[in-house]
Amino acid sequence: MTTALGVVAAKSPLAEIFKALKIAEFNPKGEPVSKFLKSLCAHPGVDCYDLLSALTGKNCCLNASTVDLFLKNEPQPTSTKNMMHLAQIVRDRRLAKYNYGNSGFNVMHYGEAAPPVYNLSNIPRDLPIFISYGGRDALSDTGDVQMLLDSLKLHDVSRLSVQFIKDYAHADFIMGVNAKDVVYSQVLSFFTKLLK
């Protein structure tokens, strides 16, 4: 993750504080998260003037009305545990299972003191996979995608499609004005071809 806002958020203990206070829901529109976000925006190198770009990267293909509609409904709440897990992955730079913060709990869940790393080579080699990623995406940056692709190097090439869109950032995939033609038509084509 290359977004300064995301990295600062992942390094903060907010999710752990929520858990300690028994706040199960991490609601981006709620007052505690809103206050937290304001404190993050005060960090050097974090520019929250354009909050969407600060988090997702410089999007190329959005229009104001689509963004306004999106922000009326998003982001949705998630569990505090989910946010803690994301922060652990960013902090530890490992794609591992959730760390319960207690070796006893980890042993109870995983049979070992530390959470195991996800073994992506266990993905069935014939599973159809379509991966589309952007050169400006600050959440799923190209380095992370390359690590994923390296773990899929033995995948059946007829069941794997990779699309790189140089100018796309994270939100472009969801609401880019050209996403239907650039991304979604490619996804449908890939899976339709597999059905024949």
CATH number at residue 160: 3.40.50
The model carries a pTM of 0.84
If asked whether residues 48 and 138 sit together in one domain, one would say no
If asked whether residues 32 and 102 sit together in one domain, one would say yes
Instruction: Say whether pLDDT at 89 is over 80.
Output: yes
Pairwise pLDDT comparison (28 vs 14), residue with the higher score: 28
- Cis previous bond, 75, omega within 30: yes
If asked whether residues 83 and 129 sit together in one domain, one would say no
Q: Write out the two tokens for 96.
A: 């591992």
Split at pLDDT 50, 70, 90, the class of 3 is: confident
Q: What's the pLDDT score for residue 131?
A: 97
Q: Name the E strands within 47-125.
A: 78-79
Last residue of a domain, one of 87, 110, 133: 110
Contact between 161 and 186 under an 8 Å Cβ cutoff? The reply is yes
Per the prediction, the chain carries an average pLDDT of 89
Burial readout 155-189 (b: 16 or more C-beta within 10 A, e: otherwise): beeeebbeeebeebbbbbbebbeebeebbeeeeee
Quote the number of domains for the chain.
Answer: 2
Domain coverage including residue 28: 4-58+75-110
Contact between 125 and 156 under an 8 Å Cβ cutoff? The reply is yes
If asked whether residues 41 and 100 sit together in one domain, one would say yes
If asked whether residues 86 and 142 sit together in one domain, one would say no
29-78 residue pLDDT tens: 888 878 888 888 888 888 887 888 888 889 999 998 888 888 787 788 98
If asked whether residues 80 and 154 sit together in one domain, one would say no
Split at pLDDT 50, 70, 90, the class of 25 is: confident
Instruction: Say whether pLDDT at 117 is over 90.
Output: yes
If asked whether residues 88 and 183 sit together in one domain, one would say no
If asked whether residues 100 and 124 sit together in one domain, one would say no
Instruction: Say whether pLDDT at 6 is over 90.
Output: no
- For residue 65, being part of any structural domain is answered with no
Q: Write out the two tokens for 113.
A: 């003191």
- Among 16-25, 58-67, 136-145, 170-179, which is the least confidently predicted range? 16-25
Q: Write out the two tokens for 17.
A: 């504080």
If asked whether residues 12 and 104 sit together in one domain, one would say yes
Paired sense of beta strands 78-79 and 25-26, if any: antiparallel
